[in-house]
Structure 1
Amino acid sequence: MLGVSPVTLRTWDQRYGLGPSVRTRGGHRRYQDEDVEVLRRMVALTGQGVAPAAAAELAQREPARPHPRGRAQLREDEAESARRGFVTAAKRLDEPLMLDLAGKLLTGHGVVAAWDQVFAPCLVELGHMVAERGRGVEVEHLASSSLLHALRSVPPTGSSGVLAALLSCAPEEQHGLALEALGAALSEEDVRWRNLGARVPARALCDAVLRLRPAVALVWAHRADIAEQVPLAELVAGSGAEIAVAGPGWAGLALPSSVRTPHTLTDAIRLVVSRVRG
């Protein structure tokens, strides 16, 4: 059911305490539903590249849940402290601490506040550090990876119905963390979405939009030469979805009049939600 061997289960039990709640007198393990959910999280986290020890610690916590709408943003002093703490953890390559800080921000304040006030500014700061010093790429990469894992911990909606949004990077675009933030925020809004990920070829993007028929198809690009590879005219003409583009790569490019251009995470959320809820 989990796709892992009994040997792996025994190892996780012995090393990390991810054992069953019940054992028979003969020592056989009897996993309850809650035990299986912990193991599912462990499998998901290790599959995303989280080190087993850190994954085990995270798996035993309650997963982040969508925050009530209208939760207040962080005060500026709180945001500054959170940014300082996350950047310090990143420079130390302290993945467990980054995951812990990110998870608490998401649970306490929601995706939009966490992204706008902490995550995005931290990524910008770390990017500038790498550009100025010519070193520290490992810091930037591990920080991005930690945020990716944290954002994916926000549970997707269990509701059925129309696919509200299909998210995709432009061809050759490899920077897709902003799309992960949008997806997590849409989960908080209880709407369905899918993300095609990085470097989606033009033909594959068109085929996916035609097959899935989302209410909104949004494409991310951070450079103009990458954005220009997106077949916007074909998407607009034949998909039936509302087409939107986001990211700095679209600035200054001539776009079809019907293409929407949300400039912030909140703008993108409103665009998607308005299409499925009126």
Structure 2
Amino acid sequence: MGPGSNNSFPVEKRVAVVTGGNRGIGLEICKQLAANGVAVVLTARDEEKGAGAAAALHRLGLPEVLFHQLDVAEPSSAACLADFIRHKFGKLDILVNNAGNLGATFDFGNLDLDKEIEDKSAHETLEWLMQHTVETTENAEECLRINYHGTKNVIQALLHLLQSSPDGRIVTVSSVFGQLSFFSGEQLKEELNDADKLSEERLDELAELFVRDFKDGELESRGWPTRRDAFVAYKASKALQHAYTRVLARKHASSPLRVNCVHPGYVKTDLTLGTGELTVEEGAAGPVAVDRNPSCNEKL
């Protein structure tokens, strides 16, 4: 979809971009925002799937959902999206960073997933899944490239448009797995928790250091989540995401821009293989509520 004209666009209507919007929580966030009267740009890496998702929302009576292709891991793709937003709308009010990567695959051998989890609680199911994960260096690299660097790419490309809004919002769909309690080293935890001293440059260094430590088998000695546990790269990427959110919020503390992370809960999506305790409607409600609640603000 190419740039259009913003001459007929009502300036009072809010505009949102949702990354990873073609399925799961992202698609439901697009749906709920559009139902609230927001013009939504649904983005996805796969053009066919993204266009199909937007068309499905049109059939539900939500015509103000547009699709634009976006690969969050590519700065040039984010820049192309920014050009489209600027020409089509002239502003941006909401950015929801939903695109994510688990950093692991599952290996169940000859086991039947449905049979194995049919009598398990949500917590027991998650524990069982964690016992059957496979995490390679390639998984870790892709996870950091999408969850941390990809989120940064999109924010940096769209930041000037968000700053033009009188009530700009950045909402990153995150996870409790990003809590620093999963880290084994006190020094690393203290550094990641000190938003006053942290910088974007240092977080980039830490992201590179994590991948190197993963390759070299130095996760435990450095104080990262260890490979004895599951979703190591996911935990590290989400912790870095949280730290970047706090750094960004403090950097723009004097502006109207609000910056937040939101844990949607353990939601039944493709990412969780359809397991979980919440529906996508329930999972999307949190990120959407942060946009609508003026008291939500990470600017401590």
TM-score bracket, normalised by the shorter chain, equals 0.3 to 0.5
Larger Rg: 1
Per the normalisation by structure 2, the TM-score is 0.32
User: Where is the helix percentage greater, Structure 1 or Structure 2?
Assistant: 1
